[in-house]
A and B are shown apart, each in its own frame.
Chain A
């Protein structure tokens, strides 16, 4: 359903950056520029504020005007952030969970799409519909049952306990993305390979897989943002400090009785954003493209 909708317009259409200038409406252009700038400021200002606050002294933050520029710049907050929490470990855990889930999502997604789209079988429509449920149904539905199941099979408080639902709920999108890509692989390629005596496994390994690299990147990127920041599964299934991911690590800055060391917390937030932000900025082009195409096809 979502698939057919998106096929009509491909977001891959090359950007026509050098459009012939529409009537030289200079004023209109300027106004547009100003509006866009304002909107971008609204969008980005909170982030800048977050960063500035992480450099403030506690007194400056509590007593002074928290939205003015800081009177003095301090890195104490970062020292406290690292002393209070376990940021390194949290980042490592987030990394493990993200990479683990992405590997599962990408490979199982490819396999599922291969079975549905390339191999094909009688009830493939039904299976597709089944997978659609996972896109529609909110993840929270799985919390209680999974908690109960994990308790029964001793999986609580493991990496798997977070990876399973994260991957499971992302799998349908991944399958749809891969199958919409496989649709465009011409049948002749497969026929030729078949004539050469290649079976379904060899075709998968030697043709489909290498062709899928772009889609793999798309799937990985779309999901990384969501998984890196997952709160609800980690919050429900992780019980000890050793496995806490970044969002849970940040929660640790809420102290007894609800006391919060704000400036240190913001320093921790800044640290926790950095890895993903770096990846995002470095892979900016690929990322924005992936998000657009990934989301449309999902």
Chain B
């Protein structure tokens, strides 16, 4: 701490960021809470309805629960692709002798493309008629009977909308994990190898515990990012077919801006806030406890 700080100087530095943050983030959260007790279409007078919206959400709205379930599925698939993919590629990369820089650059490339472009792209990749990339590859490797319209089938669509999100950011997480892996002291691993530990054992006993703190951080970032998932499902399927790829975020968005039901949309928002805080708390507790154990 600076010895000669004045209360005023603290305020001078703190107020501008806090003000922006307050306007953009905190106030909207409170406003959502406020609006969630109203029935309001944007053009008629607001109608106070007490907790009706909450009652409806928890007891009367099947779509809400489907969206909630889908959101969980979406998060799990994104996490597996992003963190699993990142860990595998990062590990492989440490074994590589040449071209690491090139691989890193190419691997992260999808992150620079806008989601609108990605949605256009994957619409073609998943397509059945005309035959898209996946279906062509299936045919080529002799699995033609597996061909299908990936975005039309209720059992594949959720995975299909999660994959682009996973694909897009796996490079980012790979970079983080790769950096962490590099920091693992080679001496430890060498020692373990001399003791006759297999590659797998070295990985789980030495490397992974070493990068655990980074792993926790990465998991939290990836989870919060996945919980924010919106663009790709919204643009690719708009939640369909039926509600098979509807997420809480897309459902909230449609409730607000298609149905112009701003009050109920705010109720869903409030739930999303609580859900995210709970999710992060849970991850933190779980991974921390394991680390302590």
Contact present between A and B (CB < 8 A): yes
* A232 and chain B: residue at smallest CB distance: B230
A293 to B227, CA, bound (A): 22
**Among the interface residues B2, B23, B216, which one has the most CB atoms of the partner chain A within 10 A?**
B2
A114 to B11, CA, bound (A): 11
Of B50-58, B59-67, B90-98, B147-155, the stretch lying at the interface with chain A is B90-98
B277 interfacial by beta-carbon distance below 8 Å: yes
Q: Which residues of B contact A138 (CB under 8 A)?
A: 224, 227-228, 230, 249, 272-273, 276
A112 to B170, CA, bound (A): 31
* A195 and chain B: residue at smallest CB distance: B3
B258 interfacial by beta-carbon distance below 8 Å: no
* Contact flags A127-144 to B (C-beta < 8 A → 1, else 0): 100110111111111111
B28 interfacial by beta-carbon distance below 8 Å: yes
Least CB distance from B258 to A in Å reads 12
A118 interfacial by beta-carbon distance below 8 Å: yes
B172 interfacial by beta-carbon distance below 8 Å: yes
Whether A10 touches B183, Cβ cut-off 8 Å, given contacts A104-B20, A136-B277, is yes
> Do B176 and A273 touch (CB < 8 A)?
no
Q: Which residues of A contact B109 (CB under 8 A)?
A: 43-44, 47, 277, 280
> Do A136 and B280 touch (CB < 8 A)?
yes
Size of A's binding interface in residues, CB under 8 A = 114
Least CB distance from B96 to A in Å reads 6
> Do A133 and B92 touch (CB < 8 A)?
no
Tell me the dominant secondary structure on chain A's binding face. Answer: helix
* B115 and chain A: residue at smallest CB distance: A231
**Among the interface residues B9, B35, B227, which one has the most CB atoms of the partner chain A within 10 A?**
B9
B284 interfacial by beta-carbon distance below 8 Å: yes
> Do B29 and A141 touch (CB < 8 A)?
yes
Whether A276 touches B112, Cβ cut-off 8 Å, given contacts A136-B276, A141-B28, A148-B31, is yes
* Contact flags B124-135 to A (C-beta < 8 A → 1, else 0): 110000111100
Least CB distance from B272 to A in Å reads 6
> Do B112 and A280 touch (CB < 8 A)?
yes
Least CB distance from A67 to B in Å reads 5
Least CB distance from A114 to B in Å reads 5
A244 to B170, CA, bound (A): 29
> Do A265 and B120 touch (CB < 8 A)?
yes
> Do B216 and A288 touch (CB < 8 A)?
no
A171 interfacial by beta-carbon distance below 8 Å: yes
Q: Which residues of A contact B218 (CB under 8 A)?
A: 295-296
Whether A144 touches B14, Cβ cut-off 8 Å, given contacts A28-B95, A66-B130, is no
Q: Which residues of A contact B26 (CB under 8 A)?
A: 130, 133
Q: Which residues of B contact A272 (CB under 8 A)?
A: 114, 117
* B114 and chain A: residue at smallest CB distance: A229
A291 interfacial by beta-carbon distance below 8 Å: yes
* B219 and chain A: residue at smallest CB distance: A5
Q: Which residues of B contact A203 (CB under 8 A)?
A: 2
> Do B4 and A200 touch (CB < 8 A)?
yes
Q: Could you give 21 example pairs across A and B, Cβ below 8 Å?
A: A2-B220, A109-B17, A115-B14, A119-B5, A127-B14, A127-B18, A135-B224, A138-B273, A139-B228, A140-B252, A143-B257, A144-B31, A149-B31, A164-B20, A171-B24, A200-B2, A231-B231, A247-B115, A272-B114, A273-B114, A276-B112
Instruction: Point out residues on A near B: beta carbons under 8 Å.
Output: 1-2, 4-13, 15-17, 19, 21-22, 28-29, 32-33, 35-36, 39-40, 43-44, 46-47, 49-50, 53, 62, 65-67, 104, 108-109, 111-112, 114-116, 118-121, 127, 130-131, 133-146, 148-149, 164-165, 167-169, 171-172, 175, 190-191, 194, 199-201, 203-204, 225, 228-229, 231-232, 236, 246-248, 250-251, 262, 265-266, 269, 272-273, 276-277, 280-281, 284-285, 288, 291-293, 295-296, 298
Instruction: Point out residues on B near A: beta carbons under 8 Å.
Output: 1-7, 9-10, 12-14, 16-18, 20-21, 23-29, 31-32, 35, 89, 92-93, 95-97, 100-101, 103-117, 120-122, 124-125, 130-133, 136, 167, 170-173, 175-176, 178-180, 182-183, 186, 210-211, 213-214, 216-218, 220-221, 224, 227-228, 230-231, 235, 249, 252-253, 256-257, 262, 265-266, 269, 272-273, 276-277, 280, 284
